[in-house]
Amino acid sequence: MLRVEDIGVRFGGVHALKGVSLTCPAGQVTGLIGPNGAGKTTLFNIVTGIQRPDAGSVHLDDRDITRDSTEQRARAGLARTFQRLEVFGSLTVRENVQLAAELHRGLRRRGRSPVELADDLLARVGLTAVADHQAGVLPTGSARLLELARALAISPTTLLLDEPGSGLDEAESHQLGDLLRSLAAEGTAVLLVEHDVQLVMRICAHIYVLDFGQLLCEGSPAEVQADVGVQQAYLGAESVAS
């Protein structure tokens, strides 16, 4: 389970995040939505240790990891994908996942071989056909699925997904939703940042809405959809009033 408490980040005089707290429990998909520039990716960077917060703390399974390095957080069970792709472009698709599995196995040394695990995960996200291709030549949608498979290879307890659905068509996006729900059903805590509101509303049990670095509201999909503040943030005050 991931818990973020009162996170604050400033870029010069601008508050990128201010007093943001959220909880992402195991066994469900939690949504994090908001307009562009709301601070969603910054929050992911804070949670994974790529960036340091000016205030607040991050807890993973009730352990304070605010001061841990990115690597330590990964080893503690935190995995993520990126909005701007970070696949290992010179390696093959299989090697991308295999490497992640090897890094994880290096820590725990049990279970299936990294190659077997890589092949299973590639099958799960539907990338078996391109397993031997160089990852750098994959189209964006497939590369996002590869990042997901790679993140899964370190057997995370908490999974942060930054717009995994962009670049996918409607049917693929639907399948991705099913996959994420199945991951949550297996006990993983999934935090999903996604612009595809339909996908978010369909699979998330709880949703947080971020706007200008602050939490605008939180609740079930139905509650969030009914919130006037959220409608204003997405559609503009005038459209909502009319």
Partner 1 sequence: MDTFLALTVTGLVTGCLYALTASGLVVTYTTSGIFNFAHGAIGMLAAFSYWELTASQGMPGLPALLLTVLVISPLVGAVIERLLVRRLGTASLEVTLTVTVGLLLLLIGIANTIWDPATPHRVQAFFLGDEVTVAGVVLTAHQLVIVATATAVAISLWAFLHWSRTGVALRAVVDDRELAALTGASPTRVGQLGWALGAGLAGLAGVLLASQVSLDATTMTLLVVNGYAAAVLGRLTNLPLTFVGGLLLGLCQAWAVGYLTLDFISQIQPVIPMLFLFVALVLSPQARLRVAQTAPLRAPSVPGARRTLLATGSFLVVAALAAVAMPLSRMGDATHGMAVALILLSLVPLVGYGGMVSLSQLTFAGIGAVALAKVGGGPEGLLAAIAVPAAVGLLVALPTMRLRGLHLALATLAFGYAMDDAFFSNATVMTDSLGLPVPRPLGLDDPRGYFFLVCGAFAVCAFGVLALRRSTLGRRLVALGDSPAGCSTLGMRVRRTKLGVFAMSAGMAGLGGALLGGQQGAVGSADFGLLLSLTLLLLAVVWGVRTVSGVLIAALLLEAAPLLQDHISGVGSVVPLLVGLGAIGLGKHQNGIVGSVVAATRRRRAVPNLPQPRTEPPIREEVLTSAQS
Name the packing angle between helices 93-108 and 114-125 (round to 10°). 130
**Residue 151's Cα: distance from chain center in Å?**
10
Which stretch, 4-12, 18-26, 68-76, 191-199, contacts partner 1 (CB under 8 A)? Answer: 68-76
Q: Does 115 bind partner 1 (CB under 8 A)?
A: no
Pick 173 or 218: Cβ nearer partner 1: 173
Decide: is 223 part of the binding site for partner 1 (CB under 8 A).
no
Instruction: Tell the smallest beta-carbon distance from residue 240 to partner 1 (Å).
Output: 25
Least Å from the CB of residue 236 to partner 1: 22
User: Which of the stretches 30-38, 94-102, 187-195, 225-233 binds partner 1 when contact is defined by CB under 8 A?
Assistant: 94-102
SS3 140: helix
Lookup result for tokens 């999909």: 221
| Residue 188, both tokens | 């993983």
**In what order do the strands lie in the sheet containing 14-24?**
14-24, 2-11, 55-60, 63-64
x/- mask, partner 1, residues 5-44, rule CB under 8 A, reads ----------------------------------------
Buried b (16+ CB within 10 A) or exposed e, 119-129: bbbbebbebee
State which of residues 118, 179, 190, 192 lies at the interface with partner 1 (CB under 8 A).
Answer: 179
Interface residue with partner 1, options 7, 30, 43, 48 (CB under 8 A): 48
